[in-house]
Amino acid sequence: MRRIATLEDIAEGLEALCKADARLLGVREAAGSIPLRLHPPGFASLAAVVVSQQVSTASAAAIHARFSALFHPLTPQALLSADDEAFRQAGLSRPKQKALIAIARAIEDGLNLESVVDLDGEAAMAALTSVSGIGPWTAEVYLLTAAGHPDVFPSKDVALQAAVHHALNLESRPGDKALAAMAESWSPWRAVAARLFWAYYRSIKGRDGLMTAPAPQQN
């Protein structure tokens, strides 16, 4: 599988996207720099995605800082041995606590978050969403940011919905199904398109848009 591993990969994807969809030329110009957004695959990266559900990037960063300090090193074993008070001090909601514990247990039962990123998109999504608490948005963002998967697009992300609505001058903000259908035309570079629209969102809102899922993820 081709991975988005460098800024050169993003540049290649942007060129292909703009050739395929001329509307994206203006989006690219307005978006400014497009960050790579790549982290090592594993429990810590997936936990960071779960922590970021339903909150702004700034709030997610603050919660994750407390969370990482309380659970150091951040391992499945550390979470499974913790009590409710530790999660409360970190500022995690009960659904996020349950999701993190479910992921930690799945890893102890054999889920390998490092090897799952080598699977194709459909197989990787199936493996991840089989775990309670990991829904499509969480799995897609993990594959995008930890696997460098080139062709996933988290259509449930409200910042992406808002960015596409504004950038393409749509009559209304697209829902996740409509946005997923629209993003099909950006394959096989949908992950680069997501990065582009997150950067565009940042340019129009003055704040980062990554990781703003609309609801706790369920199977």
pLDDT score for 215 = 37
Same domain? For 128 and 168 the reply is no
Same domain? For 122 and 199 the reply is no
Same domain? For 13 and 96 the reply is no
Same domain? For 63 and 131 the reply is yes
Nearest partner of 146 among 38, 5, 7, judged by Cα = 38
pLDDT score for 176 = 96
- Structural domain count, the chain: 2
Tell me, yes or no, whether 115 lies in a domain. yes
Same domain? For 136 and 65 the reply is yes
Tell me, yes or no, whether 21 lies in a domain. yes
Tell me, yes or no, whether 141 lies in a domain. yes
List, for residues 116-144, the tens digit of each pLDDT value.
Answer: 988 888 999 999 999 988 999 999 999 99
Which of 129, 146, 163 represents a domain boundary (last residue)?
146
Does 58 or 69 have the greater pLDDT score? Answer: 69
Q: Calculate ∠ Cα 13-18-23, nearest 5°.
A: 140
Distance CA 208, CA 29 (A): 17
Q: Which domain holds residue 137?
A: 43-146
Which of 106, 130, 146 represents a domain boundary (last residue)?
146
Same domain? For 98 and 170 the reply is no
pLDDT at 211 over 70: no
Mean pLDDT over residues 6-10, rounded?
97
User: And the tokens for 132?
Assistant: 């309670």
Provide the CATH number for the domain around residue 32.
1.10.1670.40
Provide the CATH number for the domain around residue 121.
1.10.340.30
pLDDT score for 218 = 35
Name the pLDDT band for 59 (thresholds 50, 70, 90): confident
Look-up of token digits 């978050």: 113
Same domain? For 61 and 76 the reply is yes
Tell me, yes or no, whether 210 lies in a domain. no
Tell me, yes or no, whether 197 lies in a domain. yes
pLDDT score for 205 = 86
What integer best gives the mean pLDDT of the chain?
91
- Within its chain, how far is the Cα of 125 from the centroid? 13
Tell me, yes or no, whether 176 lies in a domain. yes
Tell me, yes or no, whether 211 lies in a domain. no
Same domain? For 181 and 112 the reply is no
pLDDT score for 210 = 52
pLDDT score for 117 = 86
Same domain? For 117 and 71 the reply is yes
Distance CA 171, CA 174 (A): 9
Residue 73: is the preceding peptide bond cis (ω within 30°)? yes
Tell me, yes or no, whether 1 lies in a domain. no
pLDDT at 217 over 50: no
